């Protein structure tokens, strides 16, 4: 059985920008070869990975596309009106209803809920595994209602970032893990507050981030500034604007 990986590049980049509160740089972004390795290990199956890129404005990041190819992705350049990448992913999910195989979706967007439900209801639904990979705290709450969809974290499960990358993520703590003294100490003025809370949360409730980057010297993808996945187009700008304003409800 094959695992099909579908990447909503604009959404992943936009949510990452919201976490960082700035446009992600090459060193901030996931290592896509690590995601391929994770997808292969997830269900121990061969992988077909599709990476959807909005090419409507003609700004095509060719170096990034070549890097994706080197990482065993199949880049798909899409042009059209409005949410063209979402439309392409939706059509692909509908097509996968008629194919046997697992599906791993990289997105936080609730627009895909019905298409994921269709995978479950199809002829192959009982035997296929479906997962959503991203930043769990930013995933649409609608995915949480689908108990049969596995929610996976880009940083903690896939370990898709370099070992020296620390993302200032705010996590929801279990009451059993909450210790008031961790939040009542002195604040280090040289360290951003969000980073300090991130480290507390990480120590309390998050699995350790893998520091083993021994493979990176051989097969690391060197992302360049051109791999911004059409970050200047209107769709991604909208994603960033929503996150900078704190409106996370649909992602």
DSSP H helices in 134-211 = 141-144, 193-205
Residues 230/55, Cβ–Cβ less than 8 Å: yes
* 195 against 120, higher pLDDT: 120
- Residues 27-63 have pLDDT tens digits of 899 999 999 999 999 999 999 999 999 999 888 989 9
The secondary structure of residue 214, as a DSSP letter, is T
The four Cα atoms 206, 144, 13, 205 give a dihedral, to 10 degrees, of: -10
Q: Most confidently modeled of 104-108, 124-128, 161-165, 216-220?
A: 104-108
Q: pTM of the predicted model, to two decimals?
A: 0.73
pLDDT band, very low/low/confident/very high, at 188 (cuts 50, 70, 90): low
First to last CA, the chain: 30
Provide mean pLDDT across the span 221-249.
37
- Residues 58-103 have pLDDT tens digits of 889 899 999 999 999 999 999 998 899 999 999 999 999 999 999 9
Give me the pLDDT at residue 104, please. 98
For the chain, the domains span 2-171+206-244
Sheet containing 130-134: which strands, arranged edge to edge?
Answer: 73-78, 46-54, 2-8, 102-106, 130-134, 149-153
* 59 against 194, higher pLDDT: 59
Give me the pLDDT at residue 199, please. 57
Give me the pLDDT at residue 186, please. 66
- Residues 122-179 have pLDDT tens digits of 999 889 999 999 999 999 988 888 999 999 999 999 999 998 777 888 777 789 988 8
DSSP H helices in 59-192 = 62-70, 84-96, 113-121, 141-144
Does residue 25 sit in helix, strand or coil?
Answer: coil
Which residue in 101, 34, 48 sits closest to 76, CA to CA? 48
| Half-sphere CA count of 211, side-chain side, radius 13 A | 2
Residue range 2-171+206-244 in CATH 3.40.50.460? no
Distance CA 135, CA 244 (A): 16
Residues 27/165, Cβ–Cβ less than 8 Å: yes
Torsion angles phi and psi, residue 91, rounded to 5: -65, -35
Which residue in 144, 147, 159, 138 sits closest to 120, CA to CA? 147
Q: Which residues of 135-165 are buried (b: 16+ CB within 10 A; e: fewer)?
A: bbebbbebbeeeeebbebbbbbbbbbbbeee
Residues 15/134, Cβ–Cβ less than 8 Å: yes
Q: Under 8 Å CB-to-CB from 90, ≥6 apart: which residues? A: 111, 112, 115
pLDDT band, very low/low/confident/very high, at 222 (cuts 50, 70, 90): very low
């Amino acid at each position: 059985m094959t695992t099909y990986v579908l990447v909503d590049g604009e959404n992943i980049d936009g949510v990452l920008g919201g976490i960082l509160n700035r446009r992600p740089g090459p060193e901030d972004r996931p290592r896509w070869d690590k995601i391929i390795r994770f997808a292969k290990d997830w269900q121990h199956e061969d992988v077909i990975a599709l990476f959807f890129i909005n090419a409507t404005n003609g700004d095509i990041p060719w170096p990034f596309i070549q890097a994706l190819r080197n990482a065993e992705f199949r880049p798909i350049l899409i042009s059209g009106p409005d949410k063209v990448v979402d439309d392409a992913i939706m059509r692909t999910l509908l097509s996968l209803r008629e194919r046997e195989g697992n599906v791993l979706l990289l997105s936080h967007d609730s627009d895909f809920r019905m298409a994921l439900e269709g995978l479950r209801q199809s002829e192959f639904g009982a035997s296929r595994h479906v997962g959503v990979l991203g930043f769990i705290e930013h995933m649409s709450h609608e995915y949480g209602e689908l108990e049969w969809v596995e929610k996976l974290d880009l940083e903690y499960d896939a370990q898709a970032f370099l070992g020296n990358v620390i993302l200032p993520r705010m996590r929801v703590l279990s009451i059993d893990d909450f210790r008031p003294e961790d939040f009542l100490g002195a604040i280090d003025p040289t360290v951003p507050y969000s980073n300090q809370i991130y480290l507390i949360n990480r120590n309390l409730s998050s699995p350790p981030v893998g520091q083993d980057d021994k493979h990176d010297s051989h097969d690391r993808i060197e992302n360049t500034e051109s791999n911004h996945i059409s970050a200047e187009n209107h769709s991604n700008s909208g994603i960033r604007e929503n996150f900078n304003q704190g409106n996370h409800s649909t992602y």
